[in-house]
Amino acid sequence: MAGNSIGQIFRVTTFGESHGVALGCIVDGVPPGLWLCENDLQIDLNRRRPGMSPYTSSRRESDQIRILSGIFEGKTTGSSIGLLIENKDARPQDYQSIKDLFRPGHADYTYQKKYGIRDYRGGGRASARETAMRVAAGAIAKKYLFEHFSIEIQGYLSQIGTICCEFKEKECIEANPFFCPDPHKVEEIAELICALKERGDSIGAKITIMAKNLPVGLGEPVFDRLDADLAHALMSINAVKGLEVGEGFSFVNKLGSESRDEMTSSGFSTNYSGGILGGISSGQPLLVHLALKPTSSIAIPAKTINQQGETVEMTTSGRHDPCVGIRAVPIAESMLAIVLMDHLLRHRAQCGHF
């Protein structure tokens, strides 16, 4: 449906460019009667927004969300909800010098060839700034899922470069600017990021998202399996290049006899499958890992071509994250929430439970 919408019943449609007037979103299909205010959305928006620490982009956007419709006397009415964030710290002039160049590793080249025109200011629609609206919409889903089903969604940084972060303390995740769950790795990550900033380089990352207290039964055979829809939603996040459910690529050299999640009367014995069986949630914790490539917007020169097709060397200036994987944590949580919300409503439609 023209690309800027996601979801069948809980349906999110977004607009907005990095250095344009505003970002916006329409969330349709929200169940009526949910208490909802702007602050419910702002909390997650603040987790994502830049300029919050020296370790991410220095662009200063307050990302102040406005709810323009669909709420009456504090509750959702069932009508479509309009959301708006005005861009405050746009600097289109920063991009004048690259308007004829295709930044390597970016969407500049593909947008130009696809559309014959492109908003070169900070990548326009291809910028990760677009994801603010995913977070806003996801916060609505998160609230409903938690209040009605006690479903908890949590993401964290599980690897950056060669530093692996195990899930040690849930509290730790929000207590550092990297969403790192292991307090002993925080310092190390800070040093890595600082070193990268100094060198003008960037690095990849792996993040993990989990959902707990899922009911059994979410997901629709055969194409709209829960894992398939999650893959769609999560791979649509900028820079995501890989995805695993449960054991993922570890299954490649595993035997069937050591990979099945056996069951007993007290429940599943293991959770290799990451909470999904046959494309349908099993009630076990949902577990997904994402690989994010390092941003190509770095201070180290690279070869590229200009609009005339000539080879040139360029450096990407602007205010960029040394590791886009970090801020991807709240974005991935939001996409997960949107998919779960949609499937909850889809399941209720056909099967009538809940």
* Contact region with a second copy (CB under 8 A), list: 35-43, 52-60, 137-145, 306-314: 306-314
- What lies within 8 Å, CB to CB, of 73 at 6+ separation is none
Shortest reach from residue 114's CB to a second copy, in Å: 4
* Contact region with a second copy (CB under 8 A), list: 36-44, 47-55, 181-189, 231-239: 231-239
* Contact predicate 210/153, CB 8 Å: yes
Shortest reach from residue 338's CB to a second copy, in Å: 10
- What lies within 8 Å, CB to CB, of 63 at 6+ separation is 42, 45, 46, 48, 49, 85, 132
By CB under 8 A, the residues from 324 to 343 that bind a second copy are none
By CB under 8 A, the residues from 54 to 113 that bind a second copy are 66-70, 72, 75, 77-82, 84, 102, 104-111, 113
Ramachandran assignment for 83, one of left (phi > 0), alpha (psi -120 to 50 degrees), beta (any other): beta
* Contact predicate 282/267, CB 8 Å: no
Question: Any contact of residue 117 with a second copy (CB under 8 A)?
Answer: yes
Q: Is 125 annotated as a binding residue?
A: yes
Shortest reach from residue 102's CB to a second copy, in Å: 7
Q: Choose among 197, 208, 212: nearest CA to 298.
A: 197
Question: Any contact of residue 234 with a second copy (CB under 8 A)?
Answer: yes
By CB under 8 A, the residues from 6 to 25 that bind a second copy are 6, 8-11, 13-17, 20-24
Q: Between β-strands 205-212 and 152-160, what pairing exists: parallel, antiparallel or unpaired?
A: antiparallel
* Contact region with a second copy (CB under 8 A), list: 44-52, 53-61, 178-186, 288-296: 288-296
Q: Is 317 annotated as a binding residue?
A: no
Instruction: Kindly state the tokens that stand for 329.
Output: 């944590």
* Contact region with a second copy (CB under 8 A), list: 53-61, 118-126, 137-145, 165-173: 118-126
| Residues 172-201, mask of contacts with a second copy (x by CB under 8 A) | ------------------------x----x
Instruction: Kindly state the tokens that stand for 249.
Output: 């690529």
Alpha-carbon span 52 to 174, nearest angstrom: 13
Among 64, 115, 174, 317, interactor with a second copy by CB under 8 A = 115
Q: Which is nearer to a second copy, 175 or 269 (CB)?
A: 269
Question: Any contact of residue 291 with a second copy (CB under 8 A)?
Answer: yes
Amino acid at the residue 64: Q
* Contact region with a second copy (CB under 8 A), list: 45-53, 54-62, 168-176, 243-251: 243-251
Q: Is 278 annotated as a binding residue?
A: yes
- What lies within 8 Å, CB to CB, of 161 at 6+ separation is 192, 203, 204, 205
- Other Cβ atoms less than 10 A from the Cβ of 242: the count is 14
| Residues 248-277, mask of contacts with a second copy (x by CB under 8 A) | xxxxxxxxxx-xxxxxxx---x--xxx--x
Alpha-carbon span 188 to 190, nearest angstrom: 5
Q: Which is nearer to a second copy, 248 or 285 (CB)?
A: 248
Amino acid at the residue 24: G
Q: Which helix (H) or strand (E) holds 158?
A: strand 152-160
Question: Any contact of residue 221 with a second copy (CB under 8 A)?
Answer: yes
Amino acid at the residue 350: Q
Q: Which is nearer to a second copy, 50 or 123 (CB)?
A: 123
Instruction: Kindly state the tokens that stand for 263.
Output: 């069951």
Among 56, 202, 208, 334, interactor with a second copy by CB under 8 A = 202
Q: Which residues of 17-32 are buried (b: 16+ CB within 10 A; e: fewer)?
A: bbbbeebbbbbbbbee
Shortest reach from residue 293's CB to a second copy, in Å: 4
Q: Which is nearer to a second copy, 175 or 221 (CB)?
A: 221
Q: Which helix (H) or strand (E) holds 190?
A: helix 186-199
Q: Which residues are annotated as a binding site for NADP(+)?
A: 48
